[in-house]
Homo-oligomer: A and B are copies of this chain.
Amino acid sequence: MNVHDYMQQVGRAARAASRAIARADTNQKNRALLAIADALERDHEKLVTANMQDLAAAEKAGLEAALVDRLAITEATVRSMAEGLRQIAALPDPVGEMDDFTFRPSGIQLGKMRVPLGVVGIIYESRPNVTADAAGLCLKSGNAAILRGGSEAFHSNQAIAACVHEGLAVAGLPAGVVQILETTDRAAVTELVTMPEYVDVIVPRGGKGLIERISLEARVPVIKHLHGNCHVYIDDTANPDKAFNIAINAKTHRYGTCNTMESLLVHEAFAEFILPRLAEAYWEKGVELRGCDRTRAILGDKVVPATAEDWETEYLAPILAVKVVRDLDEAIEHINAHGSHHTDAVVTEDYGRARRFLREVDSASVMVNASTRFADGFEYGLGAEIGISTDKIHARGPVGLEGLTSQKWVVLGDGQIRQ
């Protein structure tokens, strides 16, 4: 079968299955989730074996170490996939939730019902655990899923797929609820993002290049996660300990995550006091600092001069851009102009400035006196996350079950007609 015909068949099966999963009740969906979790744990050896095939091929192909690292499955990875599914099972079911029912002057009673989106297409690279997370989130939110993993994780994903299908069968749900593509042909992605009759939304997870390519091609809505250029702004009213702890944690807790701070802004009246303390700690951890002229005037030549590009960069590495700013206004302006609208934090004890930062910084997550590292689905209580949206339309920030649903209007009448 050619790729077009194969994808049409996958699309039709997904659309049909989406009706079944939309109607499935909470118990049935949870039964499937728990059965998948059990199957994964039982088959952990099979998964590791399949993964070794992928790892061997990756090493042979000379894949870079970071990628190979993300590809690896251990018994611990399998347990955490299973744990993730059990957490999703424990979350309240968003489907069918009704609220806001009020009477209108005409006598109709108007409210809203939360419903699945339909069919969700997910395109991702490397990490096989996305397969289990995405399947679990789509299933619980009543959506059918079409998963397209990276070719480098092909065997791992097929092994996980077997567990997913076993779990669906245990709960009496059709296999079409979660389909994992059996082709690694790039043309399948093009088909997937251009069949609005079968796919309601696309979630790409991967590098900026992948996401831009898919957005350009897509004829269905895309929930985009472009990049995370996150800021912490330390105001001159900051509590010094909070400022120190947050600035260190936001940068050094993990270097490769999208909610890691990439630029630090410091109020000019606070810079001479806090920057030397911070620089010492950063350097001790091997973080390279790239600063504006005023930063270098305080910290000396060990600070690399920052170029215009540094303010735009998501390093995903032990590098930090540092800028001394005049005041809150300059900080907000800098963040809105150079940030990526992902996550930004202020450290301040001033009530009015905290309110202004929250309101005026145009990002998916805005924080007062907390580390940017909190911006993820797990810390926000969404269970897992299907991605972190840097769009404003539909879902913003970490996308969990709710982001995979929509609300329809419900009108309850007693025979009302329009006058």
* Residue ranges of A at the interface with B (Cβ–Cβ < 8 Å): 19, 22-23, 96, 104, 106, 108, 110, 113, 115, 117-118, 200-201, 216, 219, 221, 239, 241-242, 245-246, 248-250, 253, 336, 345, 358-360, 362-371, 373-375, 379-381, 391-394, 396-398, 406-418
Contacts and interface: CB of A to CB of B under 8 A. Distances in A.
A154 B410 CA distance: 39
Given A115-B362, A368-B413, 6 more contacts: A113-B358, A221-B221, A358-B410, A374-B411, A375-B409, A398-B409
Contacts of A408: 363-366, 396-397
Interface of A, helix, strand, loop or mixed by DSSP: mixed
B392 A406 contact: yes
Given A370-B108, A409-B366, A415 B245 contact: yes
Given A392-B118, A397-B408, A409-B366, A417 B380 contact: no
A404 B315 CA distance: 34
A253 B418 contact: yes
Nearest to A117: B392
B411 A367 contact: yes
Contacts of A375: 409, 411
A379 B221 contact: no
Nearest to A23: B360
Contacts of A396: 406-409
A193 to B, nearest CB: 14
Contacts of A365: 408-411
B110 A200 contact: no
Contacts of A368: 411-413
The number of times this chain is found in the oligomer is 2
B394 A393 contact: yes
B110 A393 contact: no
A345 B370 CA distance: 49
A102 B373 CA distance: 18
A117 B393 CA distance: 8
A266 to B, nearest CB: 17
Contacts of A391: 221
22 contacts: A22-B362, A104-B379, A104-B381, A108-B370, A108-B379, A113-B359, A117-B392, A117-B393, A239-B415, A245-B417, A246-B415, A250-B417, A253-B417, A365-B409, A366-B408, A366-B411, A368-B411, A371-B413, A371-B417, A380-B409, A396-B407, A398-B409
A246 B411 CA distance: 13
Contacts of A104: 379-381
Contacts of A414: 242, 369
A108 to B, nearest CB: 5
Contacts of A413: 367-371, 374
Nearest to A356: B23
Contacts of A393: 117, 200-201, 221, 393-394, 406
B115 A379 contact: no
A418 B373 contact: yes
A409 B398 CA distance: 9
Contacts of A200: 392-393
Contacts of A407: 396
Contacts of A250: 417
Contacts of A241: 415
Contacts of A381: 104, 110
